[in-house]
Amino acid sequence: MVAAEPMAETKQCPDCAEQVLAAARKCRYCGYRFDRGGGALGDLLAGLRKDKPDVTLATIIADWDVSLESGEQARFFRLAELDDRLGYLLVTGTRLVFFAARGYSRHDKLVERSLDSISHARIRGGLGRRQLEFGGSAWEHAVRLYGRGNIQRLADLLTEHLAAATPTDLDRRSPG
């Protein structure tokens, strides 16, 4: 007679719902990392998986030391590369903010520009390496975004803001 091996303790993966060993740091089915926690980004990703629905974008950016003004709404928030730095790009009705990644869940505000300070925006590059170049009278940035159509969405947002400016505003903001 063969002695039965005691059943190992298990836990359920929050991503794929498979049972894995309780001591596991990574799910063998989907690759979910159990040992990564803390910070609002982890909570946001968990919120996207539907197990933490109370986390909001305002909570995420507050964790990164930025808050939305009264009436200010996020119009665009995406993973991006700004001037070859990886992070997240936030565009509201009044400003553009880039948070550079510093580790797994830490982000530092690297760039903050008023949309009124932007004088030009144009898409450059071929299909695989498209980027949006935008700037003001004394500065310029280049941004690459992940996901189909995001470069065009961002370009549309910025050019919509530029088009809403009065002719005197455009004259004042023109470089040169």
Q: Where are the domains of the chain?
A: 9-55, 66-173
Residue 34 CB contacts under 8 Å (≥ 6 apart), including other chains: 11, 24, 25, 26, 27
The pLDDT-based confidence of 69 (bands split at 50, 70, 90) is: confident
DSSP, collapsed to helix, strand or coil, labels residue 22 as: coil
Q: Convert the pLDDT of each residue in 100-110 to its tens digit.
A: 877 666 788 89
Fold of 66-173: PH-domain like (2.30.29)
User: Six-digit token pair at 112?
Assistant: 């903050």
| Angle, vertex CA 136, rays to CA 131 and CA 138, nearest 5 | 115
Alpha-carbon gap, residue 112 to 99, rounded angstroms? 9
Alpha-carbon gap, residue 157 to 94, rounded angstroms? 11
Quick one: which of 93, 91, 85, 90 has its CA closest to 141?
Answer: 85
Q: Convert the pLDDT of each residue in 137-164 to its tens digit.
A: 899 999 998 877 889 999 999 998 888 8
The pLDDT-based confidence of 4 (bands split at 50, 70, 90) is: low
Report the sign of the C-alpha dihedral through residues 149, 44, 133, 95, in that order.
Answer: positive
Does the global pTM surpass 0.85? Answer: no
Output the pLDDT for position 143: 95
User: Six-digit token pair at 118?
Assistant: 């932007």
Among 30-34, 123-127, 138-142, 158-162, name the one with the lowest average pLDDT.
30-34
Output the pLDDT for position 52: 47
